[in-house]
């Protein structure tokens, strides 16, 4: 059975209507990344940060999986392939498409985390800076999202899957944020074939054995059809 590790980024959810990050003006939904995606930004202005993630949580809940998410779920159902999705996305569109083996290395919008005691629980549709942690009672609740300067989740598990992979496929990511941007080299060094499926060449596009460029909703179903035929 071929072992496939699929890395996904914002580009796979773009056609579901969820905006990607790296707009040319360097802003993210009109906010500076330092203000809304760092622990320092949250400590400075938790009201703004909760408002920002409440809006993103609502947008994600209203979005639906597109043909790229659905094709990956179908691939997982094929008995000839063992598929692990490692996503940088905080939406749950892979799960809603039917994928079961998904690692959210940058956390999820559906999770809440206590910054004081580390307790985790399902996030309500709207979080507020006045919410108390159900475990310790502190008013230090935050979205369970990995911000810049923080360690992504489940890295040991991810590296071990990359070392064992026969094929590594990167979908819809600009290749700007490490450690995910380095996965292609990790997998390649360990002997995997590597494939990029992205709208345009990513920063590390040359590191892939093969790169195909176009919208994920077309490229991903086409690739899945090829390897399942
Ligand atoms: N199909 C395929 N690729 C697409 C599509 C599409 N329809 N639309 C956009 N893309 C590509 C873009 O060309 C770009 O290369 O998706 C990529 C999105 O890049 P980013 O916005 O940088 O997103 P991502 O790589 O996931 O960002 C990584 O950075 O801000 C942090 O934590 C955040 O997880 C995020 C991380």
Q: Whose CA is nearest to atom 34 of ligand 1?
A: 88
pLDDT given for residue 23 in this prediction: 58
Domains of the chain: 1-18+65-106+152-229 (3.40.50.1220), 19-62+107-145 (3.30.1600.10)
Beta strands at 2-8 and 167-171: parallel, antiparallel or unpaired: parallel
pLDDT along the chain (229 residues), means of 10: 96 93 64 92 96 95 98 97 98 98 98 97 97 97 96 98 98 95 98 98 97 98 96
If you measure from the C-alpha of residue 21 to the centroid of ligand 1, how many angstroms do you get, rounded to a whole number?
6
Residues listed for the chain: 229
pLDDT given for residue 25 in this prediction: 55
pLDDT given for residue 74 in this prediction: 98
- φ, ψ of residue 87 to 5 degrees: the values are -115, 145
- What's this model's pTM, rounded to 2 decimal places? 0.96
- In whole angstroms, what is the distance from residue 12 CA to residue 199 CA? 10
- In whole angstroms, what is the distance from residue 185 CA to residue 71 CA? 25
pLDDT given for residue 20 in this prediction: 83
pLDDT given for residue 24 in this prediction: 53
DSSP symbol at 31: B
Beta strands at 120-122 and 81-87: parallel, antiparallel or unpaired: unpaired
pLDDT given for residue 45 in this prediction: 97
Active-site residue identified among 50, 104, 106, 213:
106
Residue 139 bears catalytic tag: no
Cβ proximity of 60 and 69 under 8 Å: no
If you measure from the C-alpha of residue 192 to the centroid of ligand 1, how many angstroms do you get, rounded to a whole number?
23
């Amino acid at each position: 059975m071929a072992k496939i590790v699929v890395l996904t980024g914002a580009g796979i959810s773009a056609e579901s209507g969820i905006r990607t990050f790296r707009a040319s003006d360097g802003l993210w939904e009109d906010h500076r990344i330092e203000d809304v995606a760092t622990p320092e930004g949250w400590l400075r202005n938790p009201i703004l940060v909760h408002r920002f993630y409440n809006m993103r949580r609502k947008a994600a809940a209203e979005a639906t999986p597109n043909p790229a998410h659905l094709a990956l779920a179908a691939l997982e159902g094929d008995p000839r392939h063992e598929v692990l999705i490692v996503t940088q996305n905080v939406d749950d569109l892979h799960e809603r498409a039917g994928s079961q083996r998904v690692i959210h290395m940058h956390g999820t919008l559906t999770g809440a985390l206590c910054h004081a005691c580390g307790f985790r629980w399902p996030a309500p549709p709207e979080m507020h800076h006045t919410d108390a942690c159900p475990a310790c009672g502190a008013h230090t609740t935050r979205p369970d999202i990995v911000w810049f300067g923080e360690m992504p989740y489940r890295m040991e598990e991810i590296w071990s899957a990359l070392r064992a992979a026969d094929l590594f496929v990167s979908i819809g990511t600009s290749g700007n944020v490490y450690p995910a941007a380095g996965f292609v080299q990790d997998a390649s060094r360990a002997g995997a074939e590597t494939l990029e499926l992205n709208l345009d060449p990513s920063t590390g596009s040359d590191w892939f054995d093969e790169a195909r460029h176009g919208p994920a909703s077309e490229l991903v179903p086409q690739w899945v059809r090829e390897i399942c035929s």
